[in-house]
Amino acid sequence: NAGVTQTPKFQVLKTGQSMTLQCAQDMNHNSMYWYRQDPGMGLRLIYYSASEGTTDKGEVPNGYNVSRLNKREFSLRLESAAPSQTSVYFCASGPPRNTQYFGPGTRLTVL
């Protein structure tokens, strides 16, 4: 059981470039989440998907889009990266209304 996996582990972008962060889980969870973690700000929810085919905004959705490709996969897209999006991004999954299990993170730098 790999749990929650994320790719890539590290990424450097220039302002205005786009990229997609990938997340997959093999625990058969219905719900999946994207967070960002910044020093002094803690973990903040960007988007989540309660089940396949649904997505909802979290606390800080601006500048991001998501796709729940199937039950296993949930991707996060930055259409036009900005320096303010420099952060560590975590994907998580879990059964509804219960514990969330996190991936190892993607460290993104936008120059």
Partner 1 sequence: EDQVTQSPEALRLQEGESSSLNCSYTVSGLRGLFWYRQDPGKGPEFLFTLYSAGEEKEKERLKATLTKKESFLHITAPKPEDSATYLCAVHIREGSNNAGNMLTFGGGTRLMVKP
User: Of these, 25, 31, 85, 87, which contacts partner 1 (CB under 8 A)?
Assistant: 31
Interaction of residue 48 with partner 1, rule CB under 8 A:
yes
Other Cβ atoms within 10 Å of 93 Cβ, number: 27
Q: Contact at 8 Å (CB) between 96 and 30?
A: yes
Per-residue binding string, partner 1, 91-110, x by CB under 8 A, is -x-x-xxxxxxxxxx-----
Closest CA to 44 of 53, 52, 56, 35: 35
CB of 97 to partner 1, least distance (A): 5
Interaction of residue 66 with partner 1, rule CB under 8 A:
no
Residues that bind partner 1 (CB under 8 A): 4, 30-31, 40-45, 48, 50-51, 54, 56, 58, 90, 92, 94, 96-105
